[in-house]
Structure 1
Amino acid sequence: MFQAWQGITRALTKSIRLYPVQRLMCAKVTSTRLCSGYQQANVVILHKSLADDFEAFCHANPSPLPLLYRSQPGEWGCPPLAAEADIRVDCPQYCVFEDGLLVSRVSSLMPYTSQLLDMVSFYLGCSFSFERTLRDAGVPVRNVEQNCNVSMFRVRQGNGGFWQTSIRCRGPGQFQCPMVVTMRPVPKEQLDIVAQVTHLTPLAHGGPIHIGDPAVLGILNASKPEYGDPVTPGPGDVPVFWACGVTGVEAIRSCKPPLAFSHSPGCMFLTDQEDTFVSAPTPEPEQCPLTFSISQQPLHYSVTSKAAVQRIRDLEEIIGEDPGQRGIRALFIQDELLRSCLSLSHSSSVLITTGFPTHYMHDPPEETDGPPGAIAMAATLQALGKEVVIVTDHRALEMNCRIMEDAVKKGVIKTAVPLLSYQGNSPDSALNFLCHDGDPNKPRFDHLVAIERSGRAADGNYYNMRGVNIKHLVDPIDDLFTTASHISGVNTTGIGDGGNELGMGKVKEAVREYMPNGSLIACDVAADFAITAGVSNWGGYGVACALYILSLCSVHQRYLHKGLGQPYPPAQDLKQAWAASLPSVAKEEEMLSILVQHGVRSGKTATLGMEVDGLTFHPTHSDVITRLRDSALQRK
């Protein structure tokens, strides 16, 4: 029965080509319903003098402009895609541009035949080609249900906190334009299957380039698309955005050629190829996307491969080991390391804070857990092109500056990280510290990380694990985290190993129930992500290694870069620089030695020696570092 219906559909398609009058009657019907099951194409027609530049532009931006076929000048057909084709009449409607301006919409290009002799037609993949596949997978396609065209938006300046970015296409030549995206509302529970199904269609734009709040893409009103029709979401739907071939229309506008043509958005060229033509076999784990929520304000999901997820979960298991028998597994939440690092991967500027003055009877009172993990994270974030600052207590600022200088000299980190302090002298201090001019729409940082940083308890005091109040040694850096929770687009991470650390308020009920002195010492300040580790430094090492894994994941990198630019893997020199930034036994042993030279002691025993939390560097810490590094580098 289905094969018979396919034959009827193809007959209708051919009749549209062969009989312009019938095609005109269908001009207002979008091609998504005319040819379900067949590959469709966007069309751009340019003078032959622009053809090479536009082809290079397509190759530089393969997600919005997947090139299916480039014609010869004056060639009406496209043999690889359709028999008996004639581009002058085969789209239900065309746009005519003069000097980059839309001057008319026409049902035929036959009157322009003489001009077309010197013009080249480009056939570009279209997301309509995967809509039947989505329906076959049980995913509702709302624009089809509502009998309307898909919503299409011109991407402007992002409005998602520090994620603000102008998503412009890349490449050489005369074409400089923003990307156009389509939006389809998808039930939240079906995001994984949608990402996986469409990832298999690279010639139909591939997988999503954004999932979540339209404002992150600069789309302020999703009910007013620039092209197509408004589409009403269903209950529990999440906006999902794909790159769109109407980007070719924007390219024409930007180049301002004397004469150019395109299909009218939604009125595609219909090929003879079944939509299986654009699909690939079921992906291996390296190419199987999974989606994860990384923010609720604004709503934002990230995407990475199943293989990367498993490798980061392996890291999470390593850092969660508890050789000190502290019972920290009771605080564990799966995938906090993964989701934190996905968020950090999207970030541009990161604030890290550390410092736990547990040894209140010594000078300095700091412990050796925290600073090594902070610097390890900073090294990898810097290598990935992020801006990083470290915030510490004012009384310890000078000492930490000297430690940073020594870390650079000894090769622990390539470039010194700026060190700041925060005292919180007024009610607006935190907002002014975090945002330019105190404006929450202009945050300086898009992610705050606390690692082994003393955290404020419910009574306003700060306690070490023995229940001693050390508030007199601690600046109110917690205020930065509580303020950040009200700034759109700014996420926070807390890394701890006992529950009294800043950010671990997310698991405070478990701390109160399972940790010694938990009802007293539990930090009351929550972070968006709470990473539990056997030793907090290990959490920092795990973050560095997880970021490295994500940097080499082609699925994640494509999503991160919105499908623009050349595809990954990265250049070898970049990969080597990222690997060089990872923690190693040699670097971390050197870092611990620097801390000891500055009088910093082991947290549990107050020993001034090569140990952290009462565990000697060899073999305990060195073994964990080796296993984390080997896992990141995929060594056996």
Structure 2
Amino acid sequence: MADKDLITRLDNRLDQLVNIDMGERGVEHLYEAARELQGGALVGAAADALMAVPEGGTVILTTGSVSRAWITPDLGENDGPSGAAAVARALVLARNATCVMLCEETLLPAIRSTCQAAGLFPVTLEQAAIARADKSLATIVMLPYATEDEAGRAQAVQMLDALTPDLLFSTERVGRNEHGVYHSMKGIDYGMGRARVDFLFDEALARGIPVVAVGDGGNEIGMGKVADHVKAYVPYGDTCQCGCGGGIGAVTSCDVLVTAACSNWGCTAIAAAMAARADNAKLLHTPEREALLLDTMVANGLINSTHGIVDDSVDGFPRQSHLAVAELCRTIVSRAL
């Protein structure tokens, strides 16, 4: 592993890179608050938590957002899946972890394809155990999560009891506000057909299971950690447009919150920080792999949610910006590899 002081400097640079508020959503305010609470680099704290997963451990991940729920639950957005796939890949390579990805049944095919494009072959839990034992295959387990409140609460208990995970990871997964409503960044209720996986994270926190979360807008799992700042600085953070009486901020907190101008960028930076710690360039999410995942998400109908179109822009940022962030993350940690 590289010198600790060098790692700290690299973590800080990664943090600064991915928190440039290009979309002017107020993320820099959330970043400052989260960093003060963390007492250091957010990306570095997330990488430390992920690298602390025991060899052969189990990690539950979630991503995917039913983007236009009032039209169809089959439509998901392209911010989240590629980032989650990059982190899962790094976990499998670094820790030989069993990664279990959760999302809506409707989004399973698209997110499964994205994970496979990242190098992870979809298998059952039983098959993942075999692969973990002989280290012969990089795998991902894909499971659906309930889309109703009571079923989501019940599944949370059942799943944590059955899987006994070492850590939970969320990126770009919308959580409910204090009135139980799931909001878009425009303050619209779009909870219909949405997996209630935030109940799983609440239960994990109650049990003391580490939770790492990535978000860019204030309405995601983990943002409960900086709830006051979401209300103060994010559009519709204090008052939504649906009439529920609350704002868009998610109430579910986390142990480590990584903010970013685009959630996928936060995940790219986390993978880079993990690569630096492992002294293993294979953990990096490279521009070449990002390009493949962007194309895969287009082929599977995931949309650029900002513009409401199926294309290879994410959150309104064009393709080349995502490749550039991956290249800059690789460049930042190159001295440690």
Q: TM-score, normalised by structure 1?
A: 0.45
Equivalent residue, structure 1, for 2:134: none
How far off is 1:425 after superposition? 2.4
1:425 matches 2:145: no
**Could you tell me which of 203, 207, 210 is aligned with 1:487?**
207
**Could you tell me which of 366, 370, 386 is aligned with 2:80?**
370
Is the 8 Å Cα contact of residues 364 and 599 (structure 1) preserved in structure 2? no
- Find the aligned partners of 1:406 and 1:622 in 2 and give their Cα distance: 16
1:318 matches 2:17: yes
How far off is 1:475 after superposition? 1.5
Flag structure 2 segments of 5+ consecutive residues without an equivalent: 36-40, 122-136, 239-246
Report SS of the residue matched to 2:207.
coil
**Could you tell me which of 510, 523, 531 is aligned with 2:250?**
523
CA offsets 1:375-425 (integer angstroms, 9 cap, x no match): 010111111122211111122223433444455499xxx834111122262
1:466 matches 2:186: yes
**Could you tell me which of 216, 231, 247 is aligned with 1:497?**
216
Equivalent position amino acid for 2:87 in 1: M
Report SS of the residue matched to 1:485.
helix
Report SS of the residue matched to 2:206.
coil
Report SS of the residue matched to 1:612.
coil
Is the 8 Å Cα contact of residues 404 and 416 (structure 1) preserved in structure 2? no
**Could you tell me which of 456, 472, 476 is aligned with 2:196?**
476
Report SS of the residue matched to 2:140.
coil
Larger Rg: 1
How far off is 1:352 after superposition? 1.0
Equivalent residue, structure 2, for 1:329: 28
Report SS of the residue matched to 2:63.
strand
Equivalent residue, structure 2, for 1:21: none
Q: Relative contact order: is structure 1 or structure 2 higher (C-alpha 8 Å, sep ≥ 6)?
A: 2
How far off is 1:621 after superposition? 1.4
1:106-505 superposed matches below 5 A = 287=3, 305-332=4-31, 333-334=34-35, 335-347=41-53, 348-360=57-69, 361=71, 364-384=74-94, 385-408=96-119, 415-423=138-146, 425=151, 428-436=154-162, 444-488=164-208, 490-505=209-224
Whichever structure has more strand as a proportion of its residues is 1
**Further displaced range: 341-350 or 518-527:** 341-350
Equivalent residue, structure 2, for 1:299: none
Equivalent position amino acid for 1:504 in 2: M
CA offsets 1:231-289 (integer angstroms, 9 cap, x no match): xxxxxxxxxxxxxxxxxxxxxxxxxxxxxxxxxxxxxxxxxxxxxxxxxxxxxx965xx
How far off is 1:428 after superposition? 4.3
How far off is 1:600 after superposition? 0.9
1:16-55 superposed matches below 5 A = none
- Find the aligned partners of 2:153 and 2:214 in 1 and give their Cα distance: 27
**Shift in CA distance, 426/407, structure 1 to aligned 2, threshold 3 Å:** closer
Equivalent residue, structure 2, for 1:194: none
How far off is 1:481 after superposition? 0.7
Is the 8 Å Cα contact of residues 2 and 276 (structure 2) preserved in structure 1? no
Is the 8 Å Cα contact of residues 422 and 475 (structure 1) preserved in structure 2? yes
Equivalent position amino acid for 1:527 in 2: C
Taking every aligned residue pair, what percent have the same amino acid on both sides? 26
Equivalent position amino acid for 2:75 in 1: P
- Find the aligned partners of 1:595 and 1:322 in 2 and give their Cα distance: 24
Q: Give the aligned length.
A: 299
Moved over 6 A (4+): none
**Shift in CA distance, 505/426, structure 1 to aligned 2, threshold 3 Å:** closer
Is the 8 Å Cα contact of residues 152 and 197 (structure 2) preserved in structure 1? no
- Find the aligned partners of 2:153 and 2:26 in 1 and give their Cα distance: 38
- Find the aligned partners of 2:258 and 2:334 in 1 and give their Cα distance: 22
Is the 8 Å Cα contact of residues 407 and 594 (structure 1) preserved in structure 2? no
How far off is 1:539 after superposition? 0.7
Equivalent residue, structure 1, for 2:277: 550
How far off is 1:608 after superposition? 1.4
1:540 matches 2:259: no
Whichever structure has more helix as a proportion of its residues is 2
How far off is 1:432 after superposition? 1.9
- Find the aligned partners of 1:371 and 1:402 in 2 and give their Cα distance: 10
1:49-68 superposed matches below 5 A = none
Report SS of the residue matched to 1:595.
helix
Q: TM-score, normalised by structure 2?
A: 0.83
Is the 8 Å Cα contact of residues 584 and 626 (structure 1) preserved in structure 2? yes
CA offsets 1:151-174 (integer angstroms, 9 cap, x no match): xxxxxxxxxxxxxxxxxxxxxxxx
Is the 8 Å Cα contact of residues 378 and 388 (structure 1) preserved in structure 2? yes
Equivalent residue, structure 2, for 1:559: none
